[in-house]
Structures are given as C-alpha cells and as structure tokens.
C-alpha cells in the first residue's frame, strides 16, 4: 500500500521534471504559446466571460435563485430532481459559458440557496459553453457560418439537458430561499460581484496561459505532431482533424484554432460538438479554481462533461448527415 502511494506521488513529480526540462529547451516556444494565449484571453475570453461573471454574482446577491426557484420549481423537480433555484444554474451556464455556470453554483452553495449535494449534481450538466463562443468563435470563425454555430449551440443545449436527465435525483435536495430584494444593497452587491468576477477571470486566464505554454512546448518538441501523425495514419483521419482533437482535449481555444480550414461535414461538426461539450482539461482546472472555498468536489463535473460531449457528438453527426 505504501509503495503504491509513493508511486502515485512519484509519477506527477517525474512528469513535472520532464516538463521543466522541455521548457528549458523550448523557452522561446513557451513564450510564443503564452503570447498567443494572452491574445485569446484579451480578444475572446475576457470580453465574453467577464460581464457574465459580474452579472451572475450581482443577480445572485440580489436573490435571483429565490425568484427563479419559485418559477422553475415544478418542472425542475420533474425533469432533473433539483430545486427551482438549482435549475437557474442551467440557464446561467448556457448563457455565460465556461466556467460561469460553476461559479454561479459555488455562489449558491455558499449562500445556502442549494445544498452541497445538489450543487455537485448540478455541476454535471450546468457548466457549459456559451453562445458567444459557440456561434462566434466556432460557427462563424471556424466554419464561416452563423447558422452552423446556432446548430451547434442547440446541440449543446440538448446534450446538457440529456446529461441532466442521466444525473437526475430522486427529489430536490435544496430549499428555495426567500427573495431579498428589499434588504439587499445593490451598490455593495455590485462591488462584491466585480471583485469576485475579477478573481475568477484571473483564474481562467492563468490556466489558459499555462496550457497554451504546455501545448507549445509539446509542439516544438515534436511530440504532439508525432502522435497526431500516428493517429491520423492509423485511423485514416485528416491530420488537421487529429490535431484539433488532440489540442482541444487539453485546451478548447487551441483546439478551436486548430479546426480552422476543416471542411464542414458530419465528422467535423461532431468533432466541434465533442470539444465544446468536453471543454478541455483547461476548463476542468478553471472550474476547480472557481470551486475553491465552496467545499464542492469536481468528480461529477468531469463525468458530466464527458457524457455531454458524447451526446453532442452523436447529435451533431446526425444533424450533419441531414445537412451535407
């Protein structure tokens, strides 16, 4: 038992030392990867995510979960086995993008709107990609079509609902909190929301920079290209397709950039839908970052994202067969 524990501790250490050696040998590539990641943060992530972070925190402090809880309670309990307040996280996650849904859930748990048990179950299907990224970056940016972006967004919504049905509870776990608009101070609520959003945004950008540097080092060392080439030859896939899959599994923004030039078709739509549903390891670490201090565990989040990615890929492939 002790030997096994030492082995588990030694493996991350060796991996870290290996990355350190690769970083020293490819410092220029790492710097270039960070610059590209900074560009992604400045032109896409911060403009699309920060306003939603602020708004979600502000509305949460003003009692939005309590208000929506009364409105959504009947169908939320029947469909997902969650409280109405918990169901409002699905709306926020589908409009705010990664990891706004997780931040909203963590805030609700800390305020007592939902229990920790319900919060962890909500993480499985309420932290999703937003319309700005799916329609703008993927639909218009990759495929040159807003209509394809809207199709992918609809697929994303349906996959989230399907994942929610899989993780359905027997009964709502949380209690609907009373609306407190008459006692909340809007000015203090806004100050707290902006401060919290700033910390969450910094957390997101730091992970994007980290994974951007790692991917750049792997690419410069030839490892990423070698693995993609082997897989492309083995399964008769287009090299660009395999590269987009490989990078997208780590970081969604890099995977999206790698999809540039792919011909629209059932397979490419399924790939885009899968990567949007999975979110990349970077998103999973971003989510863990915004959950820190909330006592929420992220195990169900990763399972839910993988399940949602599979649902998305199947739905998008079927839609592609009808369209192309």
Write out the DSSP string of 225-263. Answer: HHHHHHHHHHHT--HHHHHHHHHHHH-HHHHHHHTTTPP
As separate numbers, helices (DSSP H) first and strands (DSSP E) second, the chain gives 17, 0
Which pLDDT score, from 0 to 100, does residue 170 have?
A: 62
pLDDT band with cut points at 50, 70 and 90 for residue 124: very high
In this prediction, residues 263-280 reach a mean pLDDT of: 93
> Average model confidence (pLDDT) for the chain?
83
pTM for the full model? 0.81
Question: Over the Cα atoms of the chain, what is R_g?
Answer: 20
Between CA 283 and CA 305 the distance in angstroms is 10
More confident residue, 264 or 164: 164
Torsion of CA 232, 234, 235, 236, to 10 degrees: 60
Q: How confident is the model at residue 181 (pLDDT cuts 50, 70, 90)?
A: very low
Tokens 């750049």 sit at which residue?
Answer: 216
Residue 217's nearest CA partner among 15, 25, 16 is: 25
pLDDT band at 289 (very low <50, low <70, confident <90, very high): confident
Judging by beta carbons within 10 Å of its beta carbon (0-12, 13-18, 19+), is residue 136 exposed, middle or buried?
middle
Residue 140's pLDDT is what?
85
Q: What is the pLDDT of residue 177?
A: 47
Q: 172: pLDDT confidence band, cut at 50, 70 and 90?
A: low
Q: How far is CA 208 from CA 33, 165, 314, in A?
A: 10, 31, 28
Give the residue-averaged pLDDT of 303-315.
Answer: 96
* Band of residue 42 on the pLDDT scale cut at 50, 70, 90: confident
What is the distance between the alpha carbons of residues 65 and 62, in angstroms, rounded to a whole number?
9
Q: In this structure, are residues 259 and 274 in contact, taking their beta carbons and an 8 Å threshold?
A: no
Predicted confidence at residue 155, as pLDDT, reads 97
Q: How far apart are CA 33 and CA 222, in angstroms?
A: 15
């Amino acid at each position: 038992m002790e030997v096994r524990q030492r082995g588990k501790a030694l493996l991350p250490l060796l991996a870290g030392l290996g990355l350190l050696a690769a970083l020293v040998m490819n410092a220029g590539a790492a710097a270039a990867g960070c610059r590209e990641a900074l560009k992604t943060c400045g032109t896409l992530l911060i403009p699309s995510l920060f306003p939603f972070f602020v708004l979600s925190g502000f509305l949460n402090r003003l009692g939005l979960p309590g208000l929506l809880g009364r409105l959504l309670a009947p169908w939320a309990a029947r469909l997902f086995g969650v409280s109405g307040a918990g169901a409002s996280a699905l709306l926020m996650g589908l409009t705010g993008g990664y990891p706004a849904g997780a931040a909203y859930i963590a805030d609700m748990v800390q305020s007592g709107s939902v229990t920790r048990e319900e919060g962890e179950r909500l993480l499985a299907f309420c932290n999703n990609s937003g319309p700005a990224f799916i329609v703008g970056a993927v639909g218009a940016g990759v495929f040159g079509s807003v209509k394809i972006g809207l199709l992918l967004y609809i697929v994303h919504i349906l996959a989230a609902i399907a994942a929610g049905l899989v993780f359905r509870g027997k009964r709502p776990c949380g209690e609907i909190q009373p609306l407190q608009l008459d006692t909340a101070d809007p000015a203090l609520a806004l100050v707290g929301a902006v401060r919290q959003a700033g910390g969450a945004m910094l957390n997101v950008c730091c992970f994007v920079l980290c994974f951007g540097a790692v991917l750049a080092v792997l690419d410069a060392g030839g490892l990423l290209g070698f693995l993609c080439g082997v897989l492309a030859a083995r399964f008769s896939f287009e090299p660009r397709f395999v590269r987009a899959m490989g990078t997208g599994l780590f970081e969604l923004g890099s995977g999206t950039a790698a999809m540039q030039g792919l011909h629209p078709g059932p397979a490419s739509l399924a790939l885009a839908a899968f990567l949007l549903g999975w979110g990349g390891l970077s998103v999973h670490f971003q989510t863990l970052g915004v959950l820190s201090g909330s006592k929420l565990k992220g195990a169900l989040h990763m399972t839910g994202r993988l399940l949602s990615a599979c649902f998305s890929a199947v739905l998008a492939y079927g839609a592609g067969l009808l369209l192309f």
